[in-house]
Chains A and B, each alone.
Chain A
């Protein structure tokens, strides 16, 4: 099992460019999440998908869109990148839709917006 995989590992964008971060999990988990990590701020939830076909906003959703393509895949799109979106992005998944459970993270995508 690969667990949670993310592509690309690193990306440089110019302000105004768009891109999609890809995430896939092979653990048959129902729920998937996107976080960003900035220095000194821990991880902050951008969007999550409790189950296939549903998505919901997290703490910092502005400037992002998501698509739950199927049970395995959850993508994050930046339509018009801004320097404030320079960050490390982590995708995660968890097995339980409604109850408490641990989330399992991918290796991250480092994004630099110039």
Chain B
């Protein structure tokens, strides 16, 4: 059972426009969410996170939105740049006591291509 889903395998965007990557989750215990970017043959790089007490978090060109009632989060990249072309993963964790926050559940990833 896939608890974190990224239903769009790929997304193509023109340079300078907005990229919107989406992620849905089913486990209502998730309360911390992260986005990672991954280039080929490299490890994932942390981008931005959000706690469930917030509905928006912004860092430069990257903004993450959380809609708890819909169990949906999205990552907005504005403006998009060719260097943003990569695979983007969303991940989630739950506070179940002890060290449970360490257990990240990842989505399948979305390949973003930004065309010059």
Contacts and interface: CB of A to CB of B under 8 A. Distances in A.
B44 A97 contact: no
Contacts of A4: 43
Contact of B103 (A45, A98, A106): A45
Nearest to A9: B41
Contacts of A90: 43-44
A56 interface: yes
A96 B99 CA distance: 9
B1 to A, nearest CB: 11
Best-buried of B34, B89, B103 by chain A (most CB within 10 Å):
B103
A103 B106 CA distance: 12
Nearest to B36: A105
Contacts, number: 69
What range describes how many residues of B lie at the interface?
20 to 34
A107 B45 CA distance: 10
A23 B113 CA distance: 31
Contacts of A48: 99, 102-103
Given A41-B108, A48-B102, A108-B41, 18 more contacts: A31-B99, A33-B104, A42-B107, A42-B109, A43-B89, A48-B99, A50-B99, A54-B99, A90-B44, A92-B43, A94-B102, A98-B101, A99-B101, A100-B95, A102-B46, A102-B49, A107-B42, A108-B42
20 contacts: A33-B104, A42-B4, A42-B89, A43-B91, A43-B106, A45-B103, A50-B98, A58-B103, A90-B44, A96-B101, A97-B99, A100-B32, A102-B46, A103-B104, A105-B36, A105-B45, A107-B42, A108-B41, A108-B42, A108-B43
